[in-house]
Amino acid sequence: MSGGVDSSATAALLLEQGYDVIGITLKLWPQDCVNRAEDKCCGPQAVTDARSVCHKLDVPYYLVDESADFQKHVIQYFADEYKAGRTPNPCVMCNQNLKFGRLIDRADQLGAEFIATGHFARVEGPVPPSLAPSDGEKVAKPGAGRYLLKRGKDLRKDQSYFLFSLRQDQLARIIFPLGEKTKSDTRDVARQCNLKTAEKEESMEICFVPDNNYGGFLQQANLVQKHRGEIVDVHGHVLGQHEGIEFYTIGQRKGLGITTPKPVYVVELDAENNRVVVGDEAALDRDEFVADRCNWHPFEQLTAPIEVTAKIRYNHPGAPATVTPLAGNKVKVKLHSPARAITPGQAAVFYQEDLVVGGGWIMR
């Protein structure tokens, strides 16, 4: 329970469906982050709100300290990715390692069969052999016994993108009560139960960077230090100096600190040579990339090319693409039309209609 309306409504719906419910909030914040995260996901105010909801619903509530793992698996990862010239996706890593990793361990300790969250997504399965499509169908053929991850019915709030890396053993333990509901439905559930979170606003920011100033956060947390390097064009000509590649992202135009005849954008972050590479807008458009550390839901491994809709970031609408398997759990993704600012470090998630076929991490 993150202290918001979605997880509050989830608890109420589970009670209505006859489950024995236990509310758990993972305390994720290192002590030096608390003041910056008072009312964010799993912050101090969120804990108060979650406890209040559990009291109202008359269910047990536990606050579990997982701040050490959050520091290791999310915050340190966040800093390391920027240092490597990649743009991290901390929500995916938090879901994979904390919310559906450590939380399952806690469920086992409490004798709980399932875990549930307020994500807008759906899990279906296990797939019976009779429902596996024939080889002639142009869809991902699910193996018998596989658990499938699908988009939430409310496509405006769908969060399946952030869940692509969940394993089969994790999906087998998950319930998403909001998967068939809209955001409006969710607030109605909370209102009907007179929960204090019913009208609570939601935040779209990274939870531990509430002001969206990730560079400032990295410096304040002593995770990166300023270090000078060159800003160059795509031909290697030096145009100026930067204070650290960690403070730049692919596609950035403002705040470069250089003067050029025409607008230029960050097109590459070269960590090995400590360089920020800039180019014109056309240099941002690409139609091919490689993704590694792939995870698949309908099957164990991709063995032949497949047609999908690929999302290269959460707010990307998705684009038709051909995904071809490579050695080492990698794939080549060929977009049917060029896309802007394909960003190393971000997740590329592959869909066929509502089904999440799988995904991987965009390589440089």
Catalytic residue among 33, 41, 54, 94: 94
The answer to whether residue 94 is catalytic is: yes
**Residues found in the chain:** 364
Catalytic residue among 42, 91, 193, 207: 207
Angle at 265 between CA 262 and CA 271, to 5 degrees: 135
The answer to whether residue 193 is catalytic is: no
Q: Is the C-alpha dihedral spanning 49, 211, 35, 313 positive or negative?
A: positive
Q: Distance between CA 336 and CA 23 in Å, rounded?
A: 45
Tell me if residue 172 falls in helix, strand or coil: coil
Is residue 173 within 8 Å of 115, Cβ to Cβ? yes
What are the residues facing 348 on neighbouring strands?
A: 360
Q: Distance between CA 108 and CA 217 in Å, rounded?
A: 35
> Longest Cα pair distance anywhere in the chain, in angstroms?
67
Q: Which amino acid is at 12?
A: A
Q: Distance between CA 362 and CA 364 in Å, rounded?
A: 7
Q: Based on the number of CB atoms within 10 Å of its own CB, is 238 exposed (0-12), middle (13-18) or buried (19 or more)?
A: exposed
Supply the residues annotated as catalytic.
94, 207
